[in-house]
Amino acid sequence: MSQLKIYNTLARDKQVFVPIQPGKVNMYCCGMTVYDYCHVGHARMMMAFDVIYRWLKASGYQVTYVRNITDIEDKIIRRAVENGETIHQLTSRFIQAMDEDAAALGILPPDHAPRATDYVPQMLSIIDKLESKDLAYRSDDGDVNYAVRNFPGYGKLSGKSLDDLRAGERVDVNGGKRDPLDFVLWKSAKASEPAEAKWDSKWGSGRPGWHIECSAMSCALLGEHFDIHGGGADLQFPHHENEIAQSEGAFGKPMVNYWIHNGFVRVDNEKMSKSLGNFFTIREVLQKYDAEVVRFFIVRTHYRSPLNYSDAHIDDAKGALTRLYTALAGIDLGSEPVAVTWDEPHAQRLRDAMDDDFNTPLAVAELFALASEVNRSKSVADARQLKALAGVLGLLERDPHAFLQAGSPAQEGGLDEAAILDAIARRAAAKKARDFAGADAIRAALTAAGVVLEDKPDGTTNWRRA
């Protein structure tokens, strides 16, 4: 039996996964800053850890998965003020939108989705510990900063020396810091900021810095030392590096055993980002494409590899997923729930793939190998195994005919099912009357409308949308 191996960013190598507590896994993933709709890059992150979450559970682990919500931050405050609404109104609206988008993509909800604003007391406690260990200091401007050079392990996640490192994108550099690499733990309140962005503390009124939020939430829900911490590759430095400095500095023990980072989404060989203006929200994409097609598009690329976004790639994913559903379409799978037979060869190879750092491209290839056998044999057992194995990845969970006959959102306004069935009936009547030209014309019109007929000697047995 294969052993799960995970590429650990901290070790820069694949390592055999050994949980701290046998049979149990505690996993934390940095979630969204909720001031706008989620984009495809967010979908990629959520999907990567959804697949990891599913595979850990399929492997028999009892998993506690935490994905936080950042609901207080500079951009949130700015957007709420611009909109003339409260911070809570803004964040609640976009949390609901995020949950709707995730559900549409078949992403399982985490076991806990903590909001940063509910954990300010825990943040203050950690900052207090850091100050007592000479790892935090209050600057002249009232902010409390982390003293990076007083933490010997700083840089171990990014693999850079202190002299090589520079302040990251979201690290404010100001005159109150002793060192440009120092980062803010507690921001002194500004008179212009709304009251709901201010909390009382021993250092005066203010609000937490971004990095301390995740240290507090992960520690409160998973403990001071836990198994897996994940997020996008852009969070490796400075965010995750700073989390390590905060948590290990405060508690004097390793924070996390395995660090996992997913790759970027790219458009025309550039990283998808709001700053470049080349991003697409999940909602925009789902207006054009079926949600399971988008899920398949993301899942079939290894989580650490760049994901190249384009309409052509999603169209290709649609064709590939259609082939899998077509293999199941003509087979009665029965009413009993499907379950994986793990000693079957395809399942064993899929397990080997997933145990090798969640290698979904190889796992998906195994689904196609099994689908080819189903097409040849029409075996109910093989078809049920295909559906069950795909379900491990959150795929093929719909009725095959429902998927094949459902148009993508962009096709709405085309022929509905009643019109298609009427055309099929008229074509059958034309053929019976030996009006083959009329029958061909009806078929051509359906093809032009994106409807594919499946003919057998006894007539049209089924149809699907192209």
Which parts are annotated binding residues for ATP?
A: 274
Dist CA 407 CA 322 (whole Å): 12
177: which residues sit within 8 A by CB, 6+ positions away?
139, 145
Beta strands 5-8 and 13-16 are antiparallel
Residue 237 DSSP class: I
Q: At 291, give phi and psi (nearest 5°).
A: -65, -35
Question: Measured between alpha carbons, how far is residue 389 from residues 54, 318, 354, 416 in Å?
Answer: 12, 19, 12, 32
Say which amino acid occupies 251.
F
196: which residues sit within 8 A by CB, 6+ positions away?
86, 87, 88
Dist CA 432 CA 436 (whole Å): 9
Binding site, annotated residues for Zn(2+): 30, 214, 239, 243
Binding site, annotated residues: 30, 214, 239, 243, 274
Enclosing H/E stretch for 206: strand 206-208
Is the distance from CB of 47 to CB of 295 less than 8 angstroms? yes
Angle of helix 87-104 versus helix 74-83 axis, rounded to 10: 110
